[in-house]
A and B are shown apart, each in its own frame.
Chain A
Amino acid sequence: GAVVSQHPSRVICKSGTSVKIECRSLDFQATTMFWYRQFPKQSLMLMATSNEGSKATYEQGVEKDKFLINHASLTLSTLTVTSAHPEDSSFYICSARELGRSPTQYFGPGTRLTVL
């Protein structure tokens, strides 16, 4: 149980294009989903918290107009990197917390974004 998927697992795009990453909780309903980015050999940095049906809460320093988050249902959240630039290249990981259960977050497998 508690499986989270991400799609795509890897994406390469040109500078200036937008990229959408999907995060799904496969076998549970998630009231809250989280988006992280991770640079090589560093820990996870929280970008934003999204609750189903409401606007995402962004961490300080994260541009909400650049990283668009939509949490349309209890099993799906999307992160769109708009007008991507090489400095946006990173490993993006989502996590989900089960509705009404413990505070444990279950993580997806991550998406490697490379912007040329």
Chain B
Amino acid sequence: EDQVTQSPEALRLQEGESSSLNCSYTVSGLRGLFWYRQDPGKGPEFLFTLYSAGEEKEKERLKATLTKKESFLHITAPKPEDSATYLCAVQERDDKIIFGKGTRLHILP
């Protein structure tokens, strides 16, 4: 069964403490892997799309990487405003998108 698993479920960091969020997937034919940020009561905000193993993308304090089995979202020197739920989603060849359950990130000032 196709699956997208995010870990950890929740993560508390001190401001400035770098860490990584994991998204592991098992799908037959990856068309794209997506990272989104979601704040409470709001829709997901697009961060990155990755298409193939070895690809990396950066935006401010965030960097996303992709292998054949997993993706990492690295957050460097986070600030309290980076607190949110980070969602990973994977799209197969047939356009179906599967979302992980998300990682709730809390950055303490």
- Residues of chain A having any CB pair with chain B under 8 Å: 2, 4, 6, 32, 34, 42-44, 46, 49, 91, 93, 95, 102-110, 112
Contacts and interface: CB of A to CB of B under 8 A. Distances in A.
Interface in B36-93: 36, 41-46, 49, 87, 91
Given A103-B31, A103-B91, A109 B101 contact: no
Nearest to B45: A107
Contacts, number: 48
Contact of B34 (A34, A105, A109): A105
Given A43-B87, A43-B101, A103-B32, A93 B43 contact: yes
B55 to A, nearest CB: 13
Interface of B: 31-32, 34, 36, 41-46, 49, 87, 91, 95-97, 99-102
Given A43-B102, A44-B99, A103-B32, A2 B41 contact: no
B48 to A, nearest CB: 9
Contacts of A95: 43
A96 B39 CA distance: 19
A25 to B, nearest CB: 13
Contacts of B102: 43
Given A2-B46, A107-B43, A109-B43, A43 B91 contact: no
A108 B38 CA distance: 11
Contact of B49 (A4, A44, A103, A109): A103
A108 B34 contact: no
Nearest to B98: A46
Given A43-B99, A44-B99, A110 B41 contact: yes
A37 to B, nearest CB: 12
B33 to A, nearest CB: 10
Nearest to B88: A43
Contacts of A103: 31-32, 49, 91, 95
